[in-house]
Amino acid sequence: MADTITTRAKDFPEWYQDVIRAADLAEPAIVVKGAMVIKPNGYAIWEKIQRELDNRFKATGHKNAYFPMFIPESFLKKEAEHVEGFSPELAVVTIGGGKELEERYVVRPTSETIIGHFFNKWIKTHRDLPMLINQWANVVRWELRTRMFLRTSEFLWQEGHTAHATHDEALAEVLRMLDVYADFAENVMAMPVIRGEKTMNEKFAGALKSYCIEGLMQNGWALQAGTSHDLGQNFGKAFDVKFQNLAGQSEYVWQTSWGVSTRLIGGLIMTHSDDAGLVCPPKLAPYHVVIIPIFKTPEEKAATSAVGAKLAEDLKAKGLSVVFDDRDDRPGSKYFEWERKGACCRVEIGPKDLEKKSYAFKRRDVEKKEFAPLDGAVAHITGQMEQMQKDLFNKAKAFRDASTKQVDSWDAFKAMHEGPGGFASCHWCGDGKCEAQVKEETKVTIRCIPLGNPKESGACIKCGRPSAQRVLFARAY
């Protein structure tokens, strides 16, 4: 295994694996098939994601709780569509403490059922509603074909679970949380997303309707980055979750669930990174600034390090994550290492810079190195971090927009997806069988029916029957 990074143009999936290795984010567990180890550099990104999202969940009135990871098998069977959807992916515990269990447990693939069981105990009257719960947890879905961060048999996520008195309130919650996800994706991850509704074929097993945010990766494939589900009364009925309304009548609750996972880190990598390694938006970057003193002699080391260490302290005081790298190693190999690891920028301070009272500055996402005066360095560098956050979003959005095309013929549709990929905005008759046929023939799926989609009459891209609107098609992870 060479220590180089395959280029995106040569082999995108290989490039993706190489960036994860080069940035030291994670590695396949191997001894546990389909699982991964998230290493400190990768986990640091996840912690920042958690913090940003958790603040947003709290600000919208949710509270964190924790439920058992083992779920009695009978619970899953209470919602017919849910058990059918998840059965092929379940890990089941049959022995505990050396004895065959009376009732088998499944390792949670998601927690609607066990939370439904407890909502039944906790919710009695309209005064108990809305119930707004979030859980940070791991889940297990036995996947045969895995890809680090994007699809692993065990992954980390958050799952929101709420119960409401009316369907309107539940639906408002579903869309509120979709907006929270979209805001996070765009303003923190710098990843533009489309908000939309899933087709019946693609919705969550057990939901009335599912909504999603979809991003577009650099290879022209879409990534479902978050989902929010209108569960209707399906789980309320399955777990007999009833409340007494104001008129004293007993009614089933209306529920929602919504989640994002460590797959966001995969999306982050594939949205921003380049052939030199990880590129990370400042709001989630484990390293903002790497300061490298340049020296040949001990005297030079002392002089440049003194200035560098002082600057490091000043930047840390502004809340930036700073590495002062004065190891006795060639500067070139340090540049190489920090570039791969996605440090947002590097500062070089050499003896000549000291004479000129300046420093060399290189932003990870900008080709050219520039020189700036040491006086005012803190303001310059913090300003550059804000600019980088914006620039990464704009660059990704320009790519997404340029890769989104209205396609009106089947030949053009096939050519697009055999070629550069991207979002194809096409008419669709609304028939799930037609959608399934497109998937069968091209592996392309309907990513979503965008929210606020304009009505427009046309002919279905596949069957030619009348269509009332365009939907977004793409290859997807």
Q: How far is the CB of 459 from Zn ion (least distance, A)?
A: 9
> What is the total count of residues that contact Zn ion (CB under 5 A)?
5
Alpha carbon distance 219, 18 (integer Å) = 15
User: 106 near 90, Cβ under 8 Å?
Assistant: yes
Q: How far is the CB of 410 from Zn ion (least distance, A)?
A: 11
The smaller minimum CB distance to Zn ion, of residues 280 and 429, is found at 429
The smaller minimum CB distance to Zn ion, of residues 372 and 449, is found at 449
C-alpha atoms less than 13 angstroms from C-alpha of 98 in its C-beta half-sphere: 0
Q: How far is the CB of 429 from Zn ion (least distance, A)?
A: 3
The smaller minimum CB distance to Zn ion, of residues 351 and 458, is found at 458
Strand partners of residue 95: 100
The smaller minimum CB distance to Zn ion, of residues 323 and 434, is found at 434
Among the listed ranges 18-26, 194-202, 302-310, 463-471, the one in contact with Zn ion (CB under 5 A) is: 463-471
Q: How far is the CB of 428 from Zn ion (least distance, A)?
A: 6
The smaller minimum CB distance to Zn ion, of residues 228 and 467, is found at 467
Query: Tokens 């939901």 sit at which residue?
Result: 207
Q: How far is the CB of 27 from Zn ion (least distance, A)?
A: 44
Q: Provide the mask over 198-217, with x wherever binding to Zn ion is found by CB under 5 A and - wherever it is not.
A: --------------------
The smaller minimum CB distance to Zn ion, of residues 291 and 460, is found at 460
Among the listed ranges 29-37, 102-110, 376-384, 421-429, the one in contact with Zn ion (CB under 5 A) is: 421-429
Using the rule CB under 5 A, which residue among 131, 270, 460, 472 binds Zn ion? Answer: 460
Among the listed ranges 30-38, 90-98, 272-280, 455-463, the one in contact with Zn ion (CB under 5 A) is: 455-463
The smaller minimum CB distance to Zn ion, of residues 128 and 431, is found at 431
Residues numbered 53 to 72 that lie near Zn ion (CB under 5 A) are none
Q: How far is the CB of 463 from Zn ion (least distance, A)?
A: 3
The smaller minimum CB distance to Zn ion, of residues 63 and 443, is found at 443
Among the listed ranges 76-84, 188-196, 232-240, 431-439, the one in contact with Zn ion (CB under 5 A) is: 431-439
The smaller minimum CB distance to Zn ion, of residues 40 and 464, is found at 464
Structure tokens at 153: 């048999």
User: 22 near 277, Cβ under 8 Å?
Assistant: yes
User: 281 near 320, Cβ under 8 Å?
Assistant: no
Q: How far is the CB of 249 from Zn ion (least distance, A)?
A: 44
Query: Tokens 């639906």 sit at which residue?
Result: 171
Alpha carbon distance 286, 343 (integer Å) = 7
The smaller minimum CB distance to Zn ion, of residues 306 and 436, is found at 436
If one asks whether residue 434 binds Zn ion (CB under 5 A), the answer comes out as yes
- For 454, which DSSP code? P
Q: 270 exposed, middle or buried (CB, 10 Å; 0-12, 13-18, 19+)?
A: buried
Q: How far is the CB of 401 from Zn ion (least distance, A)?
A: 27
The smaller minimum CB distance to Zn ion, of residues 72 and 430, is found at 430
Q: How far is the CB of 417 from Zn ion (least distance, A)?
A: 17
If one asks whether residue 459 binds Zn ion (CB under 5 A), the answer comes out as no
Alpha carbon distance 298, 277 (integer Å) = 32
Q: How far is the CB of 452 from Zn ion (least distance, A)?
A: 23
The smaller minimum CB distance to Zn ion, of residues 36 and 429, is found at 429
Using the rule CB under 5 A, which residue among 62, 400, 462, 475 binds Zn ion? Answer: 462
Among the listed ranges 30-38, 338-346, 423-431, 444-452, the one in contact with Zn ion (CB under 5 A) is: 423-431
Among the listed ranges 97-105, 311-319, 351-359, 462-470, the one in contact with Zn ion (CB under 5 A) is: 462-470
If one asks whether residue 463 binds Zn ion (CB under 5 A), the answer comes out as yes
Q: How far is the CB of 143 from Zn ion (least distance, A)?
A: 30
Q: How far is the CB of 458 from Zn ion (least distance, A)?
A: 11
Residues that bind Zn ion (CB under 5 A): 429, 434, 460, 462-463
